[in-house]
Structure 1
């Protein structure tokens, strides 16, 4: 033993030199380090590639460009040696699918993201061009501005770049990898489950990693185990058949805008609690481990109030993360008559509101729609589902047309203590250090469709910044979130 020790004993200077020589090799053995090295070396090139992807319009009203996005993404996979194809149904945007099969792999990991984006109004964007990416420094951070910069092309690009980083560092994949990139998430994913059902042999995995949404407002990486469900109602109330002079007929002809304001005001109290009967019935309680995770999560309310210029919040003092785990009722928009320079002294013929209902586990979207409709009926309205006739309007003092959105889905929550959940947490911690664990995210993703079709569990690992103007004008992504996201995706790709 002494002879062996003597044979390997080296002077300190020699050891230091040896470690310096081995350092790149040692760094390359860790996926997050390989990702950091790769992005640091290729930032200018990667930024141009990301800009090229963002420059392709991707709104639902433009199916030709949605197909162009799908074709480009499939080609990006093909260039990386990934077996790729488009999964399609007539009249629906394609799902971009890719697979990497690893000989002897015991597990399959599926990465989900979406390439479609919200509608745009160019005049609301600085520069007037949502699909001409621009890099600006704001609040000390470099950001790229374009539709889908944060929601959700960033995740797709981070996954592709992570693949490149692992291959350059000669880090082998241990699990089978699948990519499922959807083209109609922002439209409610009406065809996703049908497409997945038709391709069950391709899309099954031990876990689906849903790469959508923002990280915690503190900037810490989050791992989220569920998402709220989502459904919508459009409510239209009726006054005179055509606009009437407000001087000649005011105080006599009912004003549908005022009626709608009164109806909506009755749905919530001044603290934001929904007053629709049974609205909160059926909520599945959080488990002990989920409550513990919420208790440990950062409390960002004061910072957010300052950032959003809010003098008060709803919820009677409850924290944001607590309220996210409750169902909500939001007015997305109101429309009646005209305002500003186009305002006219008339009683408008109709008033319309779009209502957004977010759901939590235990509440069915059809039942929640019906609860709101029953409330409207209780206020004296005759409910119709199509444009009312003259006879219907004359026969009833109050008529409400309520259109139910069928592109709806329920909330889903994955248990935090599953073995695969713990593996995901460890992988993300390897890349990002301490992470924030949340039982539910505020936004909605069709997790139920994924879980039913793929017979699996879903876990959400977002990478975008919270202040990315998601769904709004001047959507952006902090570039550091992109580089961090590449490291996170690399660690997840290397999972066993």
Structure 2
């Protein structure tokens, strides 16, 4: 199937594609709030109808929560599963939006035109880049170059409670040769990116107990053990003076970044100063000996997310508190095992406790391994070449500091390797007021997927 006519069709049909994107952006599919359940159903119905409009056999599938959308269309090439999510974050605080978050508008900015509205970048705009590329192929050639299964979720922004059961129950139908995910960003403006690794996550929380009750600091100040002081000492023990985590066994399973990937990262156009200055930093504060990108993408972390205890009201209350609390998370890389790390972390905390202090752990918190993509598969280099051609810039295998659990679920449940390609920008304000998606990202995203499908079909 000739590629150039498909790219020309995408160019000519951009206004109509933007109109369709505006339609789905108007649907208030906020998954976390039960008041918007009907809106989530409406978004699923809209996607089913849109897929059917160019020949996809699509259905809305019920779950205990919001529905899934599953669609199939045949093609001569490999079988690809494409995943996206149609639900969005709440819009609060509404007063910080410059326009109605569910009345999307095209605005001119110093980056060129953008489409602004909730879900524009995360994930409706990204999802529709792939759908529109498929529509263009079907319009020009009457068929697609690959067999495609579309899989759209409606609960990604609210923890995906129905996702794993649905995938297990429908594993045979969702099986394919490769999974594609479009819920990521470009490493720098104009630099196309394929995520090669995602950090995992371990959550934990503990309470340090001291005296039986809050104590008068005059009566017990001095001989009394203060849990807040103990907590401060525990927290200080987590890192050494170089920023390295001091928990025994913490780095088990961590691997160094290969030289070829480091070369791509060093030349990807990442602006370290802008990245740091945008949040008020003047230099990186992580593990010494590693660049900012390597710290963000390929090194594990231990972060304190919240601490509290004692009196926190107005004025002063002279107490030695009975308890002190801490929430923490670890970002995982490589082959780090969450539960082994949890055991090491808890042993470290318990070893720091003095006599008369005890710790109680929250045992209801989970952990997930890092996801490392199999970039040795030839499809990855084919896709990288296709992206490089579209953007006239070498595409890079990037890392991601955050976690996208679906990539791991595809591997664990369906046995599928996943390829993550996205066209969002770091300033898209996803999850925040005034979310936007560059029209260039939408337009060239469609063209990019057309090129990727062409490359993967050969």
TM over 0.5, shorter chain? yes
Note the aligned Cα RMSD (angstroms).
Answer: 3.5
Which of 267, 288, 299 is residue 316 of structure 1 equivalent to?
288
Q: Does residue 463 of structure 1 match 2:434?
A: no
**1:128–1:335 distance in 2 versus 1, CA, 3 Å:** farther
Q: Is the radius of gyration larger for structure 1 or structure 2? A: 1
Match for 2:51 among 77, 83, 86? 77
Other-structure match for 1:174: 145
Q: What secondary structure sits across from 2:278 in the alignment?
A: helix
Task: Give the equivalent residue in structure 1 for 2:346.
Answer: 373
Note the C-alpha offset of 1:176.
0.3
Q: Please tell me whether residue 111 in structure 1 is matched to residue 82 in structure 2.
A: yes
Deviation at 1:241, TM superposition (A): 7.4
- Map 1:296-311 → 2, pairs under 5 A: 296-311=267-282
Segments of structure 2 that go 5 or more residues without pairing to the other structure are none
Which of 22, 26, 37 pairs up with 2:12?
Answer: 37
Deviation at 1:450, TM superposition (A): 0.1
Q: Any conservation in 1 of the 2:238–2:246 contact (CA below 8 Å)?
A: yes
| Superposed CA offset, 1:138-158 (max 9, x none) | 554444444433222221122
By how many angstroms is 1:67 displaced? 4.2
Query: Residue 279 and residue 68 in structure 1: after superposition, are their counterparts in 2 closer, same or farther (change >3 A)?
Result: farther
1:194 maps to which of 155, 161, 165: 165
- Correspondences of 1:50-199 after superposition (within 5 Å): 50-53=24-27, 55-59=28-32, 64=37, 65-89=39-63, 91-102=64-75, 105-118=76-89, 121-122=92-93, 125-126=96-97, 131=102, 133=104, 136-137=107-108, 139-170=110-141, 172-189=143-160, 191-199=162-170
TM-score by length of structure 2 reads: 0.83
Contact in 1 for aligned 2:31/2:158 (Cα 8 Å): no
Measure, in 1, the Cα distance between the counterparts of 2:398 and 2:181.
14
Distance 1:350 1:96 in 2: 48
- Shift of residue 224, structure 1, vs aligned partner: 1.9
Indicate conservation of the 8 Å contact 1:152/1:213, yes or no. no
Residues 381 and 400 of structure 1 are in contact (CA less than 8 Å); yes or no, is this contact kept in structure 2? Answer: no
1:392-431 maps to which residues of 2 (within 5 A)?
A: 397-406=357-366, 408-431=367-390
Q: Is residue 327 from structure 1 mapped to residue 292 from structure 2 by the alignment?
A: no
Unaligned runs of 5+ in 1: 1-25, 383-395
- Deviation, 1:285, is 4.2
Contact 1:283 1:361 (C-alpha < 8 Å) held by counterparts? yes
- Cα distance 1:255–1:166, how it changes in 2: closer, same or farther (>3 A)? farther
Asked whether the equivalents of residues 177 and 493 of structure 1 are also in contact (C-alpha less than 8 Å), the reply is: no
> Given that residues 240 and 349 in structure 1 are in contact (C-alpha distance below 8 angstroms), is that contact kept between their aligned partners in structure 2?
yes
Count of residues in correspondence between the two structures: 449
Aligned to 1:405, the other structure's residue is in SS state coil
Task: Give the counterpart of 2:438 among 475, 478, 483.
Answer: 478
How many angstroms apart in 1 are the aligned matches of 2:95 and 2:306? 17
**Higher deviation after alignment, 348-357 or 440-449:** 348-357
TM-score between the two structures when normalised by the length of structure 1:
0.78
Do the aligned residues in 1 keep the contact of 2:210 with 2:357 (CA within 8 Å)? Answer: no
Deviation at 1:311, TM superposition (A): 1.2
